[in-house]
């Protein structure tokens, strides 16, 4: 059974520099903590949600442990400086999935995201495995039924697998099928794809679905393609699978990338999405604290999240 709980306030701690100046603040000092799941009280804010689930990773034969990511990433974010935009952040707690009922967990996240979006919030979800993307993306599609929702995925993998049941490798096939059932177009761009990590069958499925693919080796020159994609959309859902980064920058994932897209390049590509005025939802997935022995990978992930929230217009 999936259930909700408020975030642990003890995770939001850090250095107090407020004696220096009124604006010498860090995220732990500016974030709001909601003790109830009540998005109607936070219109125009950014809802931070945790999806503590890695059942999809287990089903996909990956390295489990991503269920511990939401709280580990909160700790990594807490001590970062609070600048313009960060004061909009409201921690709306965690959705916990302690059993093998992945489908139920995705449905709970879907309903929560739709509720936040309809209440005028935007959503930032900390996964969890990439099974997070079906629940999050479906909630966004539900909230904007008459609009063109573009899905932008930074990922070494297309995640269009066919399987008998949902896994961390199936979320975008699931979203494509949901779009089919709703008689709407499926708009999907995947950047940072490793051809070596995706079979020809997955490539064929992507071509059938008219997916915009930018391979890892092409990402330094991908800005014009991404800009053109953004222009054709009404709303954007951005999902960042941290395994898009090189393994020396992000070793703590289920499937570390031998090549990957460098962090600086990734942030340059994320910037126009944040500035577009169309970004409605973001998640970061696949961080696995079990393989982050010195906490450096959490710092990398936190910097990505910090940058997105700061630039989100």
Residue 52 has pLDDT above 60, yes or no: yes
Q: Which fold has domain 3-311?
A: 3.40.800
Query: Is the pLDDT assigned to residue 211 strictly greater than 70?
Result: yes
First and final CA of the chain: distance in angstroms?
A: 36
Q: Which residues have C-beta within 8 Å of that of residue 78, sequence separation ≥ 6? A: 11, 12, 13, 14, 26, 27, 28
Confidence of residue 302 (pLDDT cuts 50, 70, 90): very high
**Given a cut of 70, is residue 1 above it in pLDDT?**
no
Collapsing DSSP to helix, strand or coil, 27 comes out as helix
Contact 288, 63 (CB under 8 A): yes
3-state SS assignment for residue 206? helix
> Interior CA angle at 57 toward 59 and 286, to 5°?
170
If we measure between CA atoms, which residue out of 67, 171, 125 comes closest to residue 280? 125
Q: What pLDDT digit, counting tens, does each position of 63-104 carry?
A: 999 999 999 999 999 999 999 999 999 999 999 998 899 999
pLDDT given for residue 98 in this prediction: 86
Average pLDDT in the 32-41 region? Answer: 97
Distances (CA, A) of 196 to 153, 158, 179: 18, 12, 28
Instruction: Say if residue 271's pLDDT is above 70.
Output: yes
Q: What is the mean pLDDT of residues 168-184?
A: 97
CB of 27 closer than 8 Å to CB of 77: yes
pLDDT of 300 higher than 70: yes
pTM (global) more than 0.85: yes
pLDDT for res 101: 93
Q: Is the pLDDT at 2 greater than 90, yes or no?
A: no
């Amino acid at each position: 059974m999936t259930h909700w709980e408020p975030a642990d306030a003890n995770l939001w701690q850090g250095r107090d520099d407020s004696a220096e100046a009124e604006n010498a603040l860090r995220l732990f000092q500016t974030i709001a903590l909601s003790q109830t799941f009540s998005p109607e009280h936070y219109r125009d804010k950014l809802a931070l949600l945790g999806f503590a689930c890695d059942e999809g990773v287990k089903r996909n034969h990956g390295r489990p442990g991503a269920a511990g990511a939401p709280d580990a990433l909160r700790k990594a974010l807490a001590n970062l400086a609070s600048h313009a935009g960060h004061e909009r952040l409201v921690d709306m707690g965690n959705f916990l999935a302690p059993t093998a009922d992945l489908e139920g967990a995705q449905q709970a996240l879907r309903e929560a995201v739709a509720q936040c979006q309809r209440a005028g919030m935007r959503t930032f979800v900390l996964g969890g495995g990439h099974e997070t993307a079906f629940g999050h993306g479906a909630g966004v599609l539900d909230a904007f039924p008459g609009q063109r929702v573009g899905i932008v995925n930074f990922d070494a993998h297309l995640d269009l697998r066919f399987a008998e049941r949902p896994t961390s490798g199936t979320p975008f096939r699931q979203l494509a099928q949901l779009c089919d059932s709703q008689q709407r177009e499926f708009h999907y761009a995947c950047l940072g794809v490793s051809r070596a990590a995706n079979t020809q069958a997955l490539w064929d499925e992507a071509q059938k679905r008219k997916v915009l693919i930018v391979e890892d080796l092409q990402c330094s020159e991908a800005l014009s393609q991404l800009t053109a994609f953004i222009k054709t959309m009404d709303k954007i859902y951005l999902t960042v699978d941290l395994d898009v980064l090189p393994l020396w920058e992000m070793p703590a994932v289920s499937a570390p990338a031998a090549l990957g897209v460098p962090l600086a390049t990734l942030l340059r590509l994320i910037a126009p999405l944040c500035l577009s005025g169309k970004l409605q939802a973001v998640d970061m997935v696949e961080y696995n604290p079990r393989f982050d022995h010195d906490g450096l990978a959490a710092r990398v992930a936190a910097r990505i999240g910090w940058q997105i929230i700061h630039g989100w217009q």
